[in-house]
């Protein structure tokens, strides 16, 4: 399974993402008394310099009047900004303050479930092991049970499921990614791709770990949610991300269904349920085709010498590689691009090597006068993993 593109605390480099993450901090700190470091802090926040903002936050905190009614709130926000900056030791200090002093402040901490994430997230990022993983998961479950939005919990949940996925612990990944999806999706619209990514990883991980008949449908549902988002987005960058995710889920849905059929888990009775569960298609074609299907030839490869890869990690599953290719009038492939390769990105290598010299020919059932010319043709390769 490919790694997740995770913009977490140690890799936040997209300025628009940084501004989104810290946007709520400016008004909060501007409203406080004129401490010497606050002007510098605000300047760092406004410019998107998160690391400098974390430095300034520690300076502000050093002279902070802890009798103020917003002390717990400020400690949480500074814990958050230091986390985003990757200063997890400082985040831990703010978390320890909230744990030990929060209940007895002049104005007690009124969001202990959120505050608990500060310490657990910092400990996990400082040393990810079984103990800190278990503690963060427990704290995030408790946070999930409380309403409202806080972005540190979102980032912590992302970090947890990415860790689980990297370890190949798919049962854990299914659970932690589900929490991440729930927390991130509360911020409707702003983090659509990240929330759908978490939902996708949860569904896929559940299938990989359980491989049951009913585990196909959450994958199909996640795919269709991506199509719904794709149909309404007007952001070109978000559209590109959603298209990538759409083909990733399309490939997984294909692999899951093929596996279930091969494993004999789909009976004659249940087959109708699967056959009727067609994946949604976008309102507008992702890759417009200039040669319509009714005049395009039925084609197959002249010589299929493709050798598929083996994988001990995914043995027994079905691999799927989806490729977009341009085919000329002679059946030669002039351009090709991998759209998805599951359960591992590396599975596409043998496919692309094969396509370097492959050629299409008309099948015996091809209509007379049909055209082989097929720009932007989508072709799906599927194989049992040994």
Residues 126-153: pLDDT tens digits? Answer: 999 999 999 999 999 999 999 999 999 9
Q: Is 196 helix (H, G, I), strand (E, B) or coil?
A: helix
pLDDT value at position 236? 95
How far, in Å, CA of 179 to CA of 155, rounded? 11
Predicted pLDDT of residue 289: 73
The residue to which tokens 């209940």 are assigned: 103
**47 Cβ neighbours under 8 A, 6+ residues apart:** none
Residues 6 or more apart whose CB falls under 8 angstroms from that of 14 comprise 7
How far apart CA 77 and CA 29 sit, in angstroms, is 10
**What is the count of structural domains for the chain?**
2
pLDDT at position 27: 40
What is the signed CA dihedral for 221, 226, 227, 233, rounded to 10 degrees? 150
Q: Is residue 328 part of a domain?
A: yes
Q: How far apart are CA 331 and CA 375, in angstroms?
A: 11
Instruction: Give the structural domain span for 378.
Output: 299-384
Q: Is 65 a member of any domain?
A: yes
Exposed (0-12), middle (13-18) or buried (19+): which is 243, by Cβ within 10 Å? middle
Which residues have C-beta within 8 Å of that of residue 347, sequence separation ≥ 6?
A: 308, 309, 311, 319, 321, 341
Integer Rg of the chain from CA: 25
Question: Which residues, including other chains, have CB under 8 Å from residue 30's CB and lie 6 or more apart?
Answer: 38, 42
Is 101 strand, coil or helix? helix
339, part of any domain:
yes
Torsion on CA atoms 155, 158, 160, 162, rounded to nearest 10: -140
- Going from the C-alpha of 96 to that of each of 89, 118, 175, 261, 367, the distances in angstroms are 11, 9, 27, 52, 74
The pLDDT of residue 267 is: 81
Residue found by looking up tokens 């290719």 in the block:
325
Domain end point (choices 132, 167, 202): 167
Determine the pLDDT at residue 11: 36
Note the helical H segments in the chain. 15-30, 38-47, 50-62, 71-85, 88-101, 112-126, 130-144, 151-166, 170-184, 192-210, 216-232, 236-262, 268-275, 348-355
Q: Is residue 293 part of a domain?
A: no
Task: State the Cα–Cα distance between residues 257 and 265, nearest whole angstrom.
Answer: 10
Position 143 in a domain = yes
Max CA pair span of the chain: 86
**Residue 29: which CATH number?**
1.25.40
d(Cα 124, Cα 143) in Å, to the nearest integer?
A: 16
The predicted structure's pLDDT at residue 297: 93
- pLDDT at position 35 is 53
pLDDT at 36: 54
pLDDT per residue over 274-291, tens digit each?
887 899 999 999 998 777
Please tell me the predicted confidence (pLDDT) of residue 275: 82
pLDDT for the residue 54: 96
Beta-carbon contacts of 378 under 8 Å, excluding residues fewer than 6 positions away, are: 287, 322, 323, 324, 339
Q: Which of 133, 167, 201 is the last residue of a domain?
A: 167
Q: What would the DSSP string read from start to end of 308-340?
A: ----STTTTSEEEEEEEEEE-TTSBEEEEEEEE
Q: Which of 167, 184, 215 is the last residue in one of the domains?
A: 167
**Does 367 fall in a domain?**
yes
Residues of the chain with pLDDT under 50: 2-31, 33-34
Q: Considering the domain boundaries, does residue 238 fall inside one?
A: no
Structure tokens at 179: 């929490």
pLDDT at 266: 85
Give the separation between CA 383 and CA 350, rounded to whole angstroms: 12
Note whether residue 273 is domain-resident. no
CATH number, domain containing residue 369: 3.30.2420.10
């Amino acid at each position: 399974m490919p790694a997740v593109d995770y913009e977490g605390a140690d890799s936040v480099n997209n300025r628009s993402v940084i501004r989104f993450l810290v946007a709520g901090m400016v008004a909060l700190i501007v409203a406080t008394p004129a401490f010497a470091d606050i002007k510098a802090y605000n300047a760092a926040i406004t410019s998107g310099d998160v690391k400098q903002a974390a430095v300034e936050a520690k300076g502000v905190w050093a002279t902070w009047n802890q009798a103020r009614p917003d002390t717990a709130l400020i400690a949480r926000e500074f814990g958050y900004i230091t986390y985003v900056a990757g200063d997890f030791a400082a985040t831990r200090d703010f978390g320890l303050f909230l744990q030990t002093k929060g209940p007895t402040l002049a104005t007690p901490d009124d969001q202990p479930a959120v505050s608990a994430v500060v310490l657990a997230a910092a400990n996990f990022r400082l040393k990810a092991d079984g103990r800190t993983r278990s503690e963060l998961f427990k704290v995030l479950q408790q946070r999930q049970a409380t309403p409202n939005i806080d972005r540190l919990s979102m980032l912590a949940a992302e970090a947890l499921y990415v860790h689980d996925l990297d370890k190949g612990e798919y049962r854990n990944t299914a659970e932690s990614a589900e929490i991440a999806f729930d927390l991130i999706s509360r911020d409707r619209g702003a983090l659509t791709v990240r929330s759908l990514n978490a939902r996708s990883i949860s569904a896929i991980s559940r299938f990989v770990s359980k491989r049951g008949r009913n585990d196909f449908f959450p994958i199909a549902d996640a795919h269709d949610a991506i199509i719904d988002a794709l149909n309404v987005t007007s952001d070109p960058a978000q559209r590109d991300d959603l298209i990538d995710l759409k083909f990733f889920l399309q490939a997984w849905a294909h692999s899951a269904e093929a596996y279930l059929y091969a494993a004999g888990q789909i009976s004659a009775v249940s087959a109708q349920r699967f056959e009727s569960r067609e994946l949604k298609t976008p309102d507008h074609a992702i890759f417009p085709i200039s040669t319509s299907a009714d005049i395009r030839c039925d084609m197959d490869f002249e010589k299929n010498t493709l050798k598929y890869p083996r994988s001990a990690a995914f043995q027994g599953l079905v691999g799927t590689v989806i490729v977009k290719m341009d085919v000329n009038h002679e059946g030669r492939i002039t351009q090709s691009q991998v759209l998805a390769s599951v359960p591992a990105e590396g599975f596409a290598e043998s496919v692309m090597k094969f396509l370097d010299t492959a050629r299409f020919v008309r099948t015996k059932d091809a209509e007379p006068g049909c055209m082989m010319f097929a720009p932007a043709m989508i072709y799906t390769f599927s194989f049992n993993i040994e």
